[in-house]
């Protein structure tokens, strides 16, 4: 059977009018073939796609996603290695560039070579390599690769079908383009920082580098869109991904609230939202006997909370009609009941009544969770130095397009294989 890529080539030939054929019928055949091709796919979906990865920090996530779906991702590292190799936690608390938990997670499935881009000979090697690569991902400061004659304009002259994605904190142009950035800076400028924390305290940073990872996810989506466009119409593309804009793209609501109403959303602490008095409540994080639970009302059966906790006051029409207006009183009533029960008991009792409560898990509870382990979310990966490493596997379960989790590379492990030295 012809590959999808070959079939697309036929489609383009007919579309350009080189043969007298009913294009509408060919389009229909293409759609049918594509669907059959997905269902009967052998191997992994991005197999054959070659990616040069020049990202650092948790911007590595973009290449990790492409590698997981089968792309050949070659990580280009400086002589001392990607700085992510020196970020904790370390396996057995042993500080070693091969034992960084962040590196072992963010660089799964990649190969590694070492190049000093500021050395002219190594910059020339990049130009030689790019001839055989489909995609380049990088996270250097705007203009840096251009200064080395390795920008998109220079590299696309060598590889016209090149898709290049640049992930930075603010994008390639604009007043902030040359600012020094970080996860916290993007957190602040996107509005997330202002909205996170208690209303009477300073803003609180989200855990980990979620904005860097979100922008990397957006980059991976944009890359695959560009790959699809290239297959259908030819040509490469340059993708300018701003971490701040990627975060704001998800946030949406508070900016729209200000645009439409001139009202500014504020921090609400552990409550889900700051809404009108008649809105449903609870939707919050509350302490219990041995930890925390997320308590949420059921919008279909508003009286269930009072029944669960055996508190008639919660079923008083005064509260049921304006629950958000009585949030403080509801919290006080809930707290008295919650502090008598452990979190697993709370969730069991609530879920039996179809109230969407859940435990707030600790990292230990996540790793040992029966649900995640039954779904084989965590996988054991053998590493020549770290040994057996347990880490997250696929981001979603797919039957026709399986995800592959392979270990992260040693520094320069594939130097000879790829560069011949």
Same structural domain, 67 and 195:
yes
CATH number at residue 298: 3.30.1540
Strand partners for 165 = 137, 239
Q: pLDDT-based confidence at 398, cuts 50/70/90? A: confident
Over residues 368-381, the mean pLDDT reads: 93
Q: Are residues 33 and 155 in the same domain?
A: no
* pLDDT exceeds cutoff 50 at 14: no
Average pLDDT over residues 303-331: 89
Using pLDDT thresholds of 50, 70 and 90, give the confidence band for residue 263: confident
Q: What is the residue range of 18's domain? A: 4-39
Residues 148-169 as b or e (16 or more Cβ within 10 Å = b):
bebbbeebbeebeebbbbbbbb
Which tokens sit at 247? 């975060």
In a domain, 272, yes or no: no
| 224 and 306 share one domain | no
**Is residue 113 located within the same domain as residue 243?**
yes
pLDDT at 150 over 70: yes
- Domain co-membership, 199 together with 293: no
Q: Is residue 170 part of a domain?
A: yes
| Residues 355 and 216 reside in one and the same domain | no
C-alpha of 220 from chain center: 9
pLDDT of residue 38: 41
291-296 and 283-288 strand pairing: antiparallel
Residue 10 lies in a domain: yes
pLDDT for 12 equals 52
Residue 367, domain member (yes or no): no
Phi, psi of 214 (to 5 degrees): -65, -45
Q: How many domains does the chain have?
A: 3
Q: Are residues 18 and 110 in the same domain?
A: no
In a domain, 256, yes or no: no
Check whether residue 112 and residue 243 sit in a common domain. Answer: yes
Q: What is the pLDDT of residues 353-364, one digit of tens each?
A: 999 999 999 999
Q: What CA–CA distance (Å, rounded) separates 193 from 247?
A: 11
What is the distance in angstroms between the CA of the first residue and the CA of the last residue of the chain?
39
The answer to whether residue 15 sits within a structural domain is yes
In a shared domain, residues 176 and 77: yes
Confidence of residue 395 (pLDDT cuts 50, 70, 90): confident
- Note the pLDDT of residue 321: 84
Question: What band does 273 get if pLDDT is binned at 50, 70 and 90?
Answer: low
Strand partners, 164: 136, 238
Residues 29 and 63 in one domain: no
Least confident of 6-15, 175-184, 203-212, 245-254: 6-15
Would 377 be classed as within a structural domain?
no
* Mean pLDDT along residues 259-283: 73
- Given 335, 360, 385, the domain boundary residue is 360
Model confidence pLDDT, tens digit, residues 206-230: 788 889 999 999 999 999 999 999 9
């Amino acid at each position: 059977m012809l590959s999808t890529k070959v079939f697309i080539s036929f489609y383009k030939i007919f579309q350009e009018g080189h043969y007298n054929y009913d294009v509408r019928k060919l389009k229909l055949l293409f759609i049918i073939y594509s669907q059959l091709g997905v269902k009967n796919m052998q191997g992994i979906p991005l197999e054959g796609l070659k990616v040069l990865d020049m990202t650092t920090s948790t911007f590595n996530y973009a290449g990790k996603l492409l590698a997981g779906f089968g792309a050949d991702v070659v990580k280009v590292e400086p002589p001392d290695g990607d700085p992510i190799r020196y970020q904790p936690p370390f396996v057995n608390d042993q500080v070693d560039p091969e034992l960084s938990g962040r590196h072992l997670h963010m660089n799964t499935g990649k190969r590694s070579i070492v190049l000093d881009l500021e050395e002219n000979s190594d910059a020339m090697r990049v130009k030689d390599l790019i001839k055989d690569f489909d995609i380049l991902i990088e996270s250097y400061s705007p203009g840096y690769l251009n200064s080395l004659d390795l920008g998109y304009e220079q590299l696309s002259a060598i590889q016209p079908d090149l898709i290049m994605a640049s992930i930075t904190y603010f994008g390639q142009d604009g007043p902030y383009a040359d600012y020094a950035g970080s996860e916290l800076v993007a957190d602040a400028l996107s509005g997330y920082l202002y909205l996170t924390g208690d209303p009477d305290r300073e803003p609180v940073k989200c855990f980990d580098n979620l904005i860097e990872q979100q922008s990397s996810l957006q980059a991976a989506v944009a890359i695959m869109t560009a790959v699809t466009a290239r297959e259908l119409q030819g040509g490469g593309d340059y993708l300018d991904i701003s971490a701040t804009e990627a975060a704001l793209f998800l946030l949406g609501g508070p900016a729209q609230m200000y645009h439409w109403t001139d009202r500014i959303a504020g921090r609400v602490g552990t409550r889900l939202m700051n809404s009108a008095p008649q809105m449903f409540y609870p939707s919050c994080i509350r302490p219990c006997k041995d930890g925390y639970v997320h308590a949420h009302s059921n919008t279909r059966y508003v009286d269930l909370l009072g029944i669960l906790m055996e508190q008639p006051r919660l079923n008083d029409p005064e509260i049921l009609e304006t629950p958000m207006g009585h949030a403080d009183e509801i919290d006080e009533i809930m707290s008295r009941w919650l502090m008598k029960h452990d979190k697993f008991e709370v969730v069991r009792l609530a879920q039996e009544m179809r109230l969407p409560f859940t435990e707030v898990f600790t990292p230990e509870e996540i790793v040992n969770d029966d649900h995640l382990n039954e779904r084989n979310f965590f996988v054991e990966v053998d590493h020549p130095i770290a040994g057996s490493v347990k880490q997250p596997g696929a981001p979603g379960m797919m039957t026709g397009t399986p995800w592959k989790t392979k270990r992260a590379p040693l520094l320069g492990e594939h130097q000879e294989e790829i560069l011949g030295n």
